[in-house]
Structure 1
Amino acid sequence: MVAMRRRTLAALPLLTAASALSGCAAFGSDRSGIVVTTNILGDLVRNVVGDETDVTVLMGADADPHSFGVSAQQAAALERAELVVHNGLGLEEGVIGHVEAAVAAGVPDLAVGEHVDPIEYTADATAGQPDPHFWTDPVRVRDAVDVIADRVIEHVAGVDADRVRANADAYGAQLDELHEHTSELFGRIPEEHRKLVTNHHVFGYLAERYGFEVIGAVVPSGTTLASPSASDLKDLADAVAASGVPAVFADSSQPDLLVQAMAAETGVDIEVIPLFTESLTQPDQGAGTYLEMAYGNAEAIADGLT
């Protein structure tokens, strides 16, 4: 992560120089639209904005927000935006340098995760660091929608504030229904099975909201860029065997060989269930929208642990 951070920051002088050459035009009346980093946030923003302004999403379907890097064209789009919406809390490790460059040049931004009562990781090497995966909690996503609406109305010229508020309220009602449905599903899981093991730490917010215990993660980190040691794998396998958890969960966009190996290490029959955790998919692949992703994950968790 440190190496990637240094490479990103090293590119900033070039980006800043390009901005200087473009003069006031890049940061004056020529600004237009909203640029969003992740596709999950992009879906939220589009539901809030509707057709009031253009929304450009940097990360396409199945992108890993931890490792994604922007193109020169995307970096330029960040500097031409009226508003940049990003997750924050350390999620977009390969993009944040370009976001910071745009902000330094005067582009307004919204780090959504910082406005929804973020929590910290509590285990392994990431303990004490902010957890960026707030979207696993629909209640916080509901709060995020209102924050997005406020910032769009404040910074994006020409939008109809009443329409933006109405869009946010309508989508918020759908998120309320998601929360109620998820609460009902998880209420059916026996107390002794309300335990989560994943391929990396991603469900802390869900666990806090719905009363799960996070046993651990195959990769003991909040980022997909880390790797487990042999002792990490053995310790987690022992914890899983002791807990009696019937299933572990792996991100559907990543190979689950490590999860399978950990399950085999326990010597007991443990199902490995794919979830959509870091990114939306193409429309016909199971998680084309945030709501589809969240409903699908809730049902998969409930089915796997009931």
Structure 2
Amino acid sequence: MKIISILVLLTLLLVSCNNNTDEGLPVKENKVFSIVTTTTMITDLVKNIGGDSVVVHGLMGAGVDPHLYKASEGDVNKLSNADMILYNGLHLEGKLVDVFERMEKQNINAIAVTDALSSKFLIGSELFESNYDPHIWFNIRYWELITLFVEKQLSDALPASSDYFKENAQAYLRQLKILQQEVADQIATLPEDKRRLVTAHDAFNYFGKAFGFDVVGLQGLSTATEAGVQDVQETAAYIIEHKVKAIFIESSVPRRTVEALQASVNSKDHDVVIGGTLYSDALGNPDTEEGTYIGMFRYNVKTIVDALK
């Protein structure tokens, strides 16, 4: 009887050891493959490609400015327990660089998605410490390249799921191609002399280059420093000279500087309105259209075109 009991116990232990997956999902140390992402744009992308085969933990939420974001103790714990970290790079998450370096020393795969892009695609800046504009997601063609790059990273990490990742990535790329055409058609309704985009900070240069807009940001590429009086005066002069009828605030940047700009312009007998709020460094709230990359892009373009017509 005792021998039978021991055999039953051993059988149960063997079954338990072999049943270390959750419905066939890939695991590491008895858990589903865990990816930590920084910005909401990257979080949305990885969820689209990874699907049910990964668990994605996004550090930043709606309205969060990645330029100023500091890791909390909880964030560090998530990063330390991750199987992979995917971040923007080009110093967008400037205050997290030391944390990423620490994770790499712990042999955690920390990958900048902007590694997908050759430097020839990037917009340089003498005023920004990385020398490149990090807001690459505002060029849909670049986001397509990053989609393929992320697919490869996931496939390399989980080769058994590579076909699944490829299928998801191809489906997402088809959606991006539709988005590109929709956006181009909508912008075509706006006369070229009205394609002047004035925003809170220089987040839309890739958008401007892709779709033929002259872009002016009240602040520079980073929001780490606030706009000064001279910035307001120079931008006000631009608005008046070019008869710009609307300027825009951003969801992740305080609106007071844009309101100060509006007051400065209006005091010089030129009427300019705030045309709406654009999503720049973060998506909208979860469970909304603007909470996805594609929905955000559609919303932004409609807001811009409607206000500037």
- For Structure 1 versus Structure 2, the TM-score category normalised by the shorter chain is 0.7 to 0.9
One-letter code of the match for 2:306?
D
8 Å CA contact 2:82, 2:108 repeated in 1: yes
Partner residue of 2:51? 50
Q: Is residue 65 of structure 2 the alignment partner of residue 67 of structure 1?
A: no
Partner residue of 2:21? none
What is the DSSP-based 3-state SS (H/G/I as helix, E as strand, rest coil) of the residue aligned with 2:291? coil
CA shift, 1:230, in A, is 1.0
CA shift, 1:263, in A, is 2.2
One-letter code of the match for 1:235?
E
Q: What residue ranges of structure 1 are gaps of 5+ in the alignment?
A: 1-27
Range that drifts further, 61-70 or 280-289: 280-289
In structure 2, relative to structure 1, the CA distance for the partners of 1:159 and 1:201 (3 Å cut) is: farther
Partner residue of 2:247? 248
What is the DSSP-based 3-state SS (H/G/I as helix, E as strand, rest coil) of the residue aligned with 1:240? helix
One-letter code of the match for 1:139?
R
Equivalent residue in structure 1 for 2:153, among 151, 154, 167 = 151
CA shift, 1:130, in A, is 0.9
Partner residue of 2:14? none
Partner residue of 1:271? 273
8 Å CA contact 1:48, 1:149 repeated in 2: yes
Partner residue of 1:217? 217
Partner residue of 1:235? 234
Range that drifts further, 72-81 or 230-239: 72-81
Range that drifts further, 136-145 or 248-257: 248-257
What is the DSSP-based 3-state SS (H/G/I as helix, E as strand, rest coil) of the residue aligned with 2:114? helix
One-letter code of the match for 1:176?
K
Partner residue of 1:140? 142
In 1, the alpha carbon distance for the partners of 2:140 and 2:55 equals: 25
CA shift, 1:213, in A, is 1.3
Partner residue of 1:258? 257
Q: Which TM-score applies when normalising by structure 2?
A: 0.83
In 1, the alpha carbon distance for the partners of 2:63 and 2:257 equals: 20
8 Å CA contact 2:53, 2:161 repeated in 1: yes
The CA RMSD over aligned residues, in Å, is 2.1
8 Å CA contact 1:89, 1:114 repeated in 2: no
CA shift, 1:142, in A, is 1.3
CA shift, 1:98, in A, is 0.9
Q: Which TM-score applies when normalising by structure 1?
A: 0.84
What is the DSSP-based 3-state SS (H/G/I as helix, E as strand, rest coil) of the residue aligned with 1:85? strand
| Rg (Cα) greater in structure | 2
In 2, the alpha carbon distance for the partners of 1:131 and 1:282 equals: 25
Q: Aligned pairs, how many?
A: 275
Report 1:3-22 matches (<5 A).
Answer: none
8 Å CA contact 1:30, 1:80 repeated in 2: no
In 2, the alpha carbon distance for the partners of 1:43 and 1:238 equals: 38
In 1, the alpha carbon distance for the partners of 2:259 and 2:56 equals: 39
CA shift, 1:82, in A, is 1.9
What is the DSSP-based 3-state SS (H/G/I as helix, E as strand, rest coil) of the residue aligned with 1:172? helix
Partner residue of 1:24? none
CA shift, 1:30, in A, is 7.5
In structure 2, relative to structure 1, the CA distance for the partners of 1:286 and 1:164 (3 Å cut) is: closer
In structure 2, relative to structure 1, the CA distance for the partners of 1:284 and 1:76 (3 Å cut) is: closer
Partner residue of 1:287? 290
- Identity over aligned pairs, percent: 28
One-letter code of the match for 1:287?
E
Deviations 1:12-54 (Å, cap 9, x if unpaired)?
xxxxxxxxxxxxxxxx958841111112100000000000111
Partner residue of 2:87? 86
In 2, the alpha carbon distance for the partners of 1:52 and 1:128 equals: 34
CA shift, 1:286, in A, is 5.8
CA shift, 1:71, in A, is 2.0
Partner residue of 2:190? 189
CA shift, 1:114, in A, is 2.8
Partner residue of 1:205? 206
Range that drifts further, 180-189 or 260-269: 260-269
8 Å CA contact 1:52, 1:159 repeated in 2: no
In 1, the alpha carbon distance for the partners of 2:229 and 2:281 equals: 25
8 Å CA contact 2:65, 2:282 repeated in 1: yes
In 2, the alpha carbon distance for the partners of 1:65 and 1:264 equals: 28
In structure 2, relative to structure 1, the CA distance for the partners of 1:261 and 1:135 (3 Å cut) is: same
Deviations 1:84-114 (Å, cap 9, x if unpaired)?
1000001012222111111122222221123
CA shift, 1:158, in A, is 6.3
What is the DSSP-based 3-state SS (H/G/I as helix, E as strand, rest coil) of the residue aligned with 1:248? strand
In structure 2, relative to structure 1, the CA distance for the partners of 1:100 and 1:293 (3 Å cut) is: same
